[in-house]
Amino acid sequence: MELAQLRYLVAVVEEGGFTRAAERLHVSQPGVSAQVKQLERELGQRLLDRSGRRVAPTEAGEAVLAYARAALAAVEGVRRTADEFSGLLRGRVALGLIPGAASAAVGAVDVVGLLGDFHDAHPQVEISLTEDTSERMLAALRRGELDLAVVGLGGEPPAGVGVRVVLDEPLVAAVRADDPLVRSAVDGRIPLAALRGRALIALPRGTGLRGVLERACAEAGFAPRVDFEAAAPGVLARLAARGLGVAVVPAGAESAGGPGLRALRITGPELSGRVALAWRTDAPPTPAARRLLTRFHAALAPAGGGAA
């Protein structure tokens, strides 16, 4: 049994066929097929079901697959450890961001600048960057598909995920100056109940701020009526400025709607939106992920906040 055979088996299962596995591994398709067949002969078990349009593991194949992946991971760990001692960092690190985080500072961190400096220091590390909702990125962290993520927190992080809050801002109701909410506000504040039945403009479901809003409304006994959704708070403010509804945004975002927009603090309860750096804690990080996480923490240090 050889590591190449295990690598081919894993690739065929993940790609669903021999041709795509060969393309991924940059080898010939007959070579992949021959090596997997040789592995099956050595083990005395048929590992793959080739009868369908997509190649799938047999029951024996599923059992072997877990050990094959573990063996390959162990070998990769040995290589990474040796590279660390030689001062050379290799591998891949996957970072997820909420929309807009790459174009603006997150807390005190210029994310694009930080990634650029990391790449300059470690050119052998492949960096992947994706934007998604916080809910999906937290799930991707748990599955090991992301190493780090900048997310919005709608509550406590899931088990196995550590966070460091970098922004904690109150949520406001942004409305036009002629809206009845402005006249009924007391010291620039309105109760959450005042939003019952109003057309709301909010971030999409799965975002941290949307989760905060929905959870607070449910506790107050009503479901928010969200008529418009957008991924950027500034867009929400501009929609509100055109009279399309009440935008629920972080304090300060209402400025994108122009001087005719008013920001009213929401009370009973007060709502806040938190942005956090998140990472997986139930599995050891790769050296590249650990080094990038260290850089994030160092960049955040002047802004305060602690790991949780």
> The domain 168-272 is classified under which CATH number: 3.90.950.10, 3.40.50.720, 3.40.190.10, 3.30.1330.60?
3.40.190.10
What pTM does this model have? 0.64
Segment 180-223, tens digit of pLDDT: 999 999 999 999 999 999 999 999 998 888 999 999 999 999 99
pLDDT score for 215: 92
For 195, the 3-state DSSP assignment is helix
* CATH code at 91-166+274-303: 3.40.190.10
Average pLDDT, the chain: 88
Domain map of the chain by residue range?
Answer: 3-85, 91-166+274-303, 168-272
CB 170 within 8 A of CB 264: no
For 12-67, the pLDDT digits (tens) are 998 899 999 998 888 898 999 999 999 999 999 999 999 888 899 999 989 999 89
d(CA 112, CA 116): 6
List the structure tokens of 195: 């939003």
Q: Name the band, by pLDDT with cuts 50, 70 and 90, for residue 307.
A: very low
Q: Can you state the percent helix, strand and coil of the chain, rounding each to 5?
A: 45, 25, 30
Fold held by 3-85? Arc Repressor Mutant, subunit A (1.10.10)
Residue 98 exposed, middle or buried by CB count within 10 Å (0-12, 13-18, 19+): buried
